[in-house]
Structure formats: structure tokens, C-alpha cells
A and B are shown apart, each in its own frame.
Chain A
Amino acid sequence: MSSIDLARRAFLRRAALTGVAGAAAPWALNLSLVGEAAAATNPNDYKALVCVFLYGGNDHGNTLIPADSTNYAKYAGIRSNLAVSQAELAATTLTPATALPGGMQLALHPSLAPLKTLWDQGRLAAQLNVGPLLQPTTLAQYNARSVPLPPKLFSHNDQQSIWQSDLPEGALSGWGGRIGDLMLSGNGGSVFSCISITGNSVFLSGQQAVQYQMGSNGAVAINGISRSLFGSGTAQSALRSLITAPSSHLFEAAYSKVTKRSIDAEAQVTAALAGLPVLAAPFDANSALSNQLKMVARMIAARASFGVSRQVFMVSLGGFDLHDNLSENHPGLLAQVANGLVSFQAAMQELGVANQVTAFTASDFGRTLSINGDGSDHGWGGHHFVLGGAVKGGRFFGTAPAVAVSGTDDVGQGRLLPSTSVDQLAGTLASWLGVSATDLPLVVPHIGEFSTRDLGYFA
């Protein structure tokens, strides 16, 4: 069934429930009115997704590296001076539940070694060659441009937006926010349904659900409204009224809305965090990613005080656009990813929610397999990790691409043609979180184009 048909079915069902007539696009509907309410009053029925976005386009070629002799030789031939040595891969060669075809073995980059334990424990899975697709696309179809392709391929800002929302830059909602829309009523409309510990992005914006943004040090209180300002209580209340004033000017109204949300949320967040026991799980305070993940962990620890049963979080790490200095800079970034994820999983264990929280990595795109001397260039499909107690870890999902340039699986220079779509990855995660099959097209509009809607990450 086409994605449009699925979406129409979902729309009609929802329209019947809310009495909405008309032919508005499905995602213009107030999804929050019709979300499948999870058992909001049961604190044990809690689930969360955590998106770990790697900004810049992570070099997948040096993230999961061919370790068997045949494929390693191909890899080394293409990657030349940027190839990780075969000896270094011994300790991180992965043994999956089902072997890869053709005797291929993949190893984690040595800097990702901390993830091997999680792999062996069955908590970490790897999704191979995933990227934006509008429908299943063969190499011949790509070369002929005979099927619709995602717009603005290879452009950072647009591919970031497409990963997060299915639409290029300018999109008004992301799939994380659309999940939030469906979970909103079960969360009592909580502003803490979609939380970003990093900057503004479209991922967590929904139609009703709005991204609540906070820093890794918590919510920021506005001093000038908390106590007398320049010695004057009148000035203190004047400040408050000015910064939250209504306005008929659209930009002023938008700014005021953000300020109001900041003020309304801050006291609650600060109090909730202050009441928590200190986490025992160690996080690297020198890593921006670890600091963000630690705050996610703390907010999950505080979930009861927010009255939420379903949440979507976002954290990020930048610096992955390694056109140059790949060998120098990639290891450190991967180490941050590995350490951050390990710390985070430990915290989830500590909080007793390891089976209820799933983290996953995402990025603008993968990169070329061929190199430019000291780095790689923009690609398309890439490899990503899915982590959590509910995950069927120790497995590869998707299809391992041929280790080649201008081969059967790439569109030139080793830029991978994805064999799994972001919609399928997002759909699988959304379903696990509780989005019904009927509602799924509202979250991931192109899911109907793919015969496999659930990739099977979860038991």
C-alpha cells in the first residue's frame, strides 16, 4: 500500500474520532488529540528514545571496518594511508548472531572498543547502510533517475533535516516531534515530551509537541525576575511582563512564546534535578556528548516528577565533516561516542530502565570510501548503532555493502546507495515506543513504500 494510502487511512480514522471533516493533509491534524494514550498513570510503563546525532556526516568506512582478509585487502587498497591497520582490528572484530554473507567480518574502529562489551552483552546492534530513500532504489534506478530521490543529497543542512524530518531544510516537524504529538495526551500534554540537550533542530518539533531545549547543566533561571532588579521589585515585575508580553507582531510573539516556556519550565526542571540522588555511573566531564547524555539520564531519573510516560530526547556531537585530518580527528570523536554510550547504558541499568530506553546514532550522511588524501567527502548511506536493553544486540541489521568504489552498492567513490531507509529505522523505533501500525505513516510518511516496516531491532 502506498504511503499516501496508509496516511489517508490513518487520517480518516482520526477524522472520525475527532469529527474533523475536510481534506487537510494528515499531518495538519491535531495528532495530540488522537494519540494512543499509553498508561500514563503507570510509572513502570515508561519508554524513551534518545537520538545521538553526529553532525557533519560520520565516516562509516572507518567506523565498521572489514576485518576478514579478503575484504580488508579491498578496504586497505581503497583507503590507502587512511586505513586502520589490520592488527588493530583484532580486538574489536565483532561476532554477530548471524554471520555476514561471504565470510565478511566487520570490526569496530579501535576507538569504539568500549562498545564491544555492549555488543557481546547483546545490548548493541548495528544497522548497516541506512540513509534517506523515498522508496526502495536500485543502482540502475539511481543512475537513470527513474525513481524519486531524496532532494538535496550530499548537502549537510538538507540531509540533516531529511534524516530528522523526511523533508529538506525549512521543515516544520521532525519524526521525533511527530512521535511526541502522538504521545502528548498520554503525557498529559507535558512540555517535557520532546527534550533537546543540544541546539535547535527540527527533529523534536511536532505540530503540538514542541522541542523543550535545555543545556547539559540544566535549565537556566532568569535572575532579573527571580529577585529585585537593580534594587526594585517594580523593575523585576516589569521585566517579567515585558519579556512574556503578547504581541501582534509575529516575530515578537514567537520570541515571547519561547521565553514564557523557558520560565514556566525552569522551576520545575531545577527542582526535579535537585531532588535526585547522584548517579553512580561515570560520565566523562570533558566530553560534550557525555555531558549531554548525563543530563538525559538525569531527566529520565526525574521522569515521575514530570508525569511523562513516553519521551524523545536528542543529543549531538559535531566535527564529523572530516574532509581532512580524518586519521587525526576521527578517533577522538568515535571515542566520545563510545564512552558516552557506555556511560549512558550504565546509567540506564542503574536506574532500572535499561529495557525501556533505546538510543541510536544518526548523521547527515555517510562518506565516500575513496579518499582525498587526508579525508573523505560527502556520502549517503552509513552505518549506525542502536543501543538498549530491549534491543536484539550482537547483530547486524541491513545489508553489508560491497567494499568497493564504483561497485554494485555505491553511486561512485564508494558513496553508498542505502539499502535500508531512514523511514524504516525511524518506523521501527517509533513502533517500539508505542506508535500503532495505523499511525505510523503519520510519523514516517514514506513507510508504506517499503515492504519491511519493522526491521526487527526489538525482541
Chain B
Amino acid sequence: MDSTLLSDAPPSAPEALTLKPSPWLGAVALLSACGGGSEAEPPAALLNTAQAQDRRQILGGPITGEGGFSGGGAAAASSPPTPTATQLMDWAERVYGGFFPPHQADLSWEGYTYRYYASTQNYLGVKGGRVYILGPVSGGALGDVGALSDFGARVFASSAPYSDFDAARFLTQATLGYTEADIATLRATGYAGWLTTEMAKVPSASNWSWLIGKGYDQGDRNLATGVDSQIWQRLMTAPDGLRQRMALALSEILVVGFDGVTGPWKQFQLAAWWDLLATNAFGNFRTLLEGVTLNAAMGRYLNTAGNQKENAATGRLPDENYAREVLQLFSIGLYELNLDGTPKLNAQGQPIETYTQDMVTQLARVFTGWNLDLPRGDTTPEFARRPMVLTESLHSTLPASFLGATVPAGTPGRTALTQALDVIAAHPNVGPFLAKQLIQRFVTSNPSPAYVARVATVFNNNGSGVRGDLGATLRAVLLDDEARDPAKLSDPGWGKQREPMLRAIQWARSFKASSTSTNWDLGNTSDPSRSLGQSPLRSPSVFNYFRPGYVPAGTAVATAGLVAPEFQLTNETSVAGYLNALQTFVGNGHRDVKPNYVSELALASDANALLDRLNLLLCAGQLTSGTRSTILNAVNSIAASTDTGKANRVYTAVMLTMASLDYLIQK
């Protein structure tokens, strides 16, 4: 072995630091013992395929598990193709880049198509339709990791669903709820085609138009009547599920909450706020950032509205609220990040602040002079959907230096705003900062750094030279190998808790809920002791219902060094309050929002068929056999001979499913 190879720097791919230790990653097997290492002549050990040891666990083990994890579902599963050796190795570089850092070219030798990774000293190759690994990762001995055909479901996981469960799992991540028809459509079009269609759909009717249609602009402007209805109806009924799901994700990063919105027509302010997010869901971040900055509700929420320049005589200074939170929460965060979302460290091993207090103070000057576009005497809600307008005389005349840039003294307000937002949006942190949080909102609480890096890369350049393409970024989130990998279904740290309002929204969509009054009058469901403990557009602060870095202390999640944002809502009161609320709304709906269990009642006498349906629609096939049999027994303990009995069997099945851990934690 060439000694220079042994002194190579450790792999730069972050997976090397985060992969779970394999039992075979023991003492390093020096390749000098294997007698090889150069590209010209691989080690002879590679040829001993007959004596190769079973090392399937290196690449995540075989994809079987209980309760449908093998990729079943009601309709026949189709078979993914068998990958070529090239495809298998390209995939391994993406998903196991710590062992096989991208990218090496294919080499051929003695019937092998293989690659050698000098920085990790691992060989990966295919011979006779089987996949082999030799190197430190296989403990120095030749390892057989399975047949090429074993890997089709994983290598091609991001191209198409191969089963109803695959499709349902994708729709769980990408939408607010789905039907059998949605599953069929997705199986017919594949993931990429489905995303294209969804993003091209004409957006559903705005929350604003819904309020107007219902005459909410005719009431008392100081009452917020309809403020919850306007968002519930959109979340529970809008057909453009991907767009609304993206708006929801954005609303949990760029936060406006009812409690902090002041002034008249709050329901219209919040409607216009949501409509802004929904309209820009697949657009450009820079455009969205400007819309957010000048939005009326945000102006009231973080005090840009009416913010005035400095007054040397009185000592008054510009309000810093928006300047701080736009940096800390909406764009770059507190610390400099690598592309993969991990913090950069200085020479002393300490994280590096992105901005100082002084930068906040100076940036605040930019956000002065703006106010609601509300002419005197106008009592209509129109101001709420118009961008704020500038009064130049109230705009700061001082320079503003922040993030390495300066807006010169005397810059007109509109120009200053453009310059400042350009600087913020161009900061290298934005890609990883948003990428990681979008992954957390859609897929999993603890993405690998490589996953974050792949998504951030697309944010930085959508492939056509455009930075900040939110549609492309979302596509990258949902189509990533890691998001689609069926092996993750058996990873004990994978996935996320379904936040309480998403459970209720999915329930409404799955069971064809309707509002008898058409007002969707679910109201404020924030009370954890008797309701969901969460309500849309009612985050308690600009920090959202939960922080991206929240760790539930005293749990196995904490011990494993993972985060679980949604668990910030989970406590002794809220878990009980949810179950009590669930029990009520499963049977009776909530207020005038009622479920229609017609499809479930048709299966009420056949508990197995009923559970199959719920497993597909609610759990994407993730009910374990233990959970399933517990629910089955419970359902079968209720006679199906009467209408009441059938109804109770359905209620029992739905409630027990939505109370189960299998459901509460989405994988």
C-alpha cells in the first residue's frame, strides 16, 4: 500500500461522522495486508466470492419488516427494475457517501465492475449480479451485501412508487391528506410527474375570496370573526394539497400568529398573509422575502408598520424587531453554516455568529418609513392585502452596515429595502438554513448532513442558474434518496411526530369531512387540555409552535443526540387532551364539521378490510402487526349486526389507529 494513500485526510463527507457504527467497522484492516490498493490491480481478495461473508448490514440490511414495510398495499405491488452496476454504485455514493465518497468512475477487472475510494480505502463492486464490498468498512474481508436485484426498491425509490404504501408514504409527506384516487394518480404518473402537475395546478381559491364570499367584510372590523374558519377551510378542503402543505411549512418558518397581529380586520390580515405564502409556495425566495417584509400582517406582527427613523433630539431609535427576526428566523440564523447545515467552526473550534447586535441596530434603519396602505377614512379590509407603502420623510437617512454590506446614508427607502433584501437573500446560509427546516417540516426531524447539502445545493442553483427556486427546492426535499429510501422505515431515529393540527386535517380529508354550515367553524383548537394543543395561524410567538432544535429532555431521543421539534408540544396535558378531543371528533366531528364514513361503514363487518383501508389512508402502511392485531380484537369485540354496532366498529378502528404510536410518529 502506498503510504501516501494512508495519510490521506479523512473523508470530508459528513456521513463518516454520523453513520451508526457497524459491527464490522472494527480495527482498521490495512490494505497492505490485502496486497493491493492501486487502480491498476485490485486485491486478490476480491476474487474470493465463494468465501464472501454476509455483510448486508453495511448497506442497511434487507428491506423486510413487519406490517407492510416490505412495500405492500391493497393494489398489486409492481417490481422495480434491477439496477445496473453503475446505477447501484452511483446510488451508494449518494446514500452511503461516508464509505464511498462521490464520485469515482467505473472500472473493470476479472468480471467485476467496481470502484475504489482511496480516501476510505473501500472497494465497491458488482460481479455475477451480486454486490461486494472490501475494505475497512467490511472489516478487511470480502463482504457480500446482496444481489443487484435486491436493491431495485432502494436505488429507484425516488423515481416511482412500487406499491400503494410507497405512494401513500410520499403523499403523507407531500400533502395534507390523500384518497385512493390520489394514490392511483401518483402510481400512474410517478413522483416527478406528480410534482410537475401539482405545481402547475391553478391555485385554489384564496382565503381572502372565501371571507368576502361569506360576507365577513360586512361585520364589525374590530372583531376577528372568521379568523380560524378561513384557514381551516383551506387546509381541510383545498385540492392543491402540495401548495397548501408548502404554505404551511413556510408559515412555520416565516411566522405570523394571531396573538401578535394588531389593528382591524385581523381575519383579513391573516387571510392575506396565508395567501401570500400559498401564492409564492413554488416561486422564488427573494420574491417571497420582499412580500413578507411588506405584508400588512407581518408589518403589525414585527412592528415594521409605523417604524420611524432615528430622532437625535429625543433619542428615539428604529424598532429592531423585524431586523432581528428576519435574520435569525427567516433567512440566515444565528451561526454560519456549511452547505450541509452543520455549523462552521473558527480556529478555536467555536461557532461563528452571522450577525452582531450592532448589525441588527443598523439594519433596523432600513425598515423605517413603511406603514400600512390605509388611507384615512378607509374602513375596508383592503389595506390587509396591499403591500405597505413608504413615507420617505420617515425613512432613516443614516447608513446601514450589516453582513459585510453597507446601504449608504441618504439612500431612498425603496432602494434601501431592495439592497438590504438582496444582501440577506444572497447570504450563503440561506440555502442550508431553509433546506434543513423544509426537510424537517415534510420528511424527517434529523436529516443527514448530506441530504441537507443536496437540497441546499438546489436552493443555491436550481439547475438553470436560478438561486432561491422554492419549487425546485421542495422537489429536492421530496425526491431525495433519503426521503424515499424504504430502509428508513426500520431506522429507529427516522421520521417525525405528526403535529396535532396535521392529524386533524388528515382526518378531515381522509374521511370526506364536510361543514354543514359551510363555515368550517372549528375555531381555536389551541387548548392542550381539551383540544389539539395547536391551531393554524395561532403560533404563540414568532418562534413557531416548536423550535427546529427542540430536544425532549429525559427521553431516548435526547440520549441519541437527536432533535424532535414537534415534541415541544408533547406533555402530560396535551397527550391526554388530544386523546379526549380525538374520541369526540372521531364520532361526532367538531362543531359543524362532520366526517363521512361511508367507505369505512361499507367495510365495518370485515375488520381486516377496514384496517387495511385505515392502514393505507392514515398510516401509509406503517401499522405494525402488534398494533394491528390489538385494534382488530377491539373492533371485533363490537357486534356488527346493527347500524350502531357498525358505526362503533368504525369509530373504534379510526380512534385506535390515530391514537397509536405507529400513527403519531410518521416514517
Contacts and interface: CB of A to CB of B under 8 A. Distances in A.
A200 B543 CA distance: 14
Interface in A77-120: 77-78, 80-81
Interface-central residue, B320, B328, B633, by most chain A CB under 10 Å: B320
Given A200-B568, A239-B659, A252-B665, A153 B357 contact: yes
A276 interface: no
Contact of A154 (B324, B563, B627): B324
Given A154-B360, A231-B648, A258 B572 contact: yes
A266 B303 contact: no
Interface stretch (A39-47, A168-176, A437-445): A168-176
A221 B360 CA distance: 47
A222 B358 CA distance: 51
Contacts of B608: none
Interface stretch (A5-13, A127-135, A355-363, A372-380): A372-380
B9 to A, nearest CB: 29
B468 to A, nearest CB: 25
A250 B587 contact: no
A377 B660 contact: no
B320 A372 contact: yes
B577 A220 contact: yes
Interface in B559-573: 560, 562-564, 567-573
A221 B572 contact: no
B540 interface: yes
B380 interface: no
Interface in A223-269: 223-224, 229-235, 238-239, 241-243, 245, 247-259, 261-263, 265-266
Interface residues of A, dominant DSSP: loop
B517 interface: no
A214 B328 CA distance: 31
Contacts of B556: 250, 253-254
A51 interface: no
B533 to A, nearest CB: 9
Interface in B612-652: 626-627, 630-631, 633-635, 637-638, 648, 651-652
B321 A377 contact: yes
A256 B397 CA distance: 57
B664 to A, nearest CB: 6
A210 interface: yes
A251 B572 contact: no
B361 interface: yes
A281 to B, nearest CB: 24
B661 A249 contact: yes
B492 A243 contact: no
A146 to B, nearest CB: 14
Interface in B497-511: 497
B633 A221 contact: no
Interface in A288-313: none
A336 interface: no
Interface residues of B, number: 84
A248 B634 contact: no
A250 B562 contact: yes
B547 interface: yes
B630 A242 contact: yes
Interface string B499-530: 00000000000000000000000000000111
Given A199-B568, A231-B648, A251-B495, 16 more contacts: A55-B541, A156-B543, A202-B553, A205-B553, A217-B529, A235-B637, A238-B631, A243-B579, A250-B557, A251-B445, A252-B664, A254-B567, A258-B575, A262-B576, A370-B316, A374-B306
Interface of A: 55-56, 77-78, 80-81, 151-158, 169-173, 177, 196, 199-200, 202, 205-207, 210-215, 217, 219-224, 229-235, 238-239, 241-243, 245, 247-259, 261-263, 265-266, 318, 321, 323-325, 368, 370-375, 377-378, 405, 411-413, 415
23 contacts: A153-B357, A154-B357, A158-B334, A170-B563, A177-B553, A199-B571, A200-B570, A215-B528, A220-B572, A222-B576, A222-B580, A224-B579, A232-B637, A234-B634, A239-B634, A239-B656, A248-B492, A266-B572, A373-B308, A373-B319, A377-B321, A412-B357, A413-B361
Interface of B: 262, 302-303, 306-308, 314-321, 324, 328, 334, 351, 357-358, 360-361, 445, 492-493, 495-497, 528-530, 540-541, 543, 547, 549-558, 560, 562-564, 567-573, 575-577, 579-580, 583, 587, 626-627, 630-631, 633-635, 637-638, 648, 651-652, 655-656, 659-662, 664-665, 667
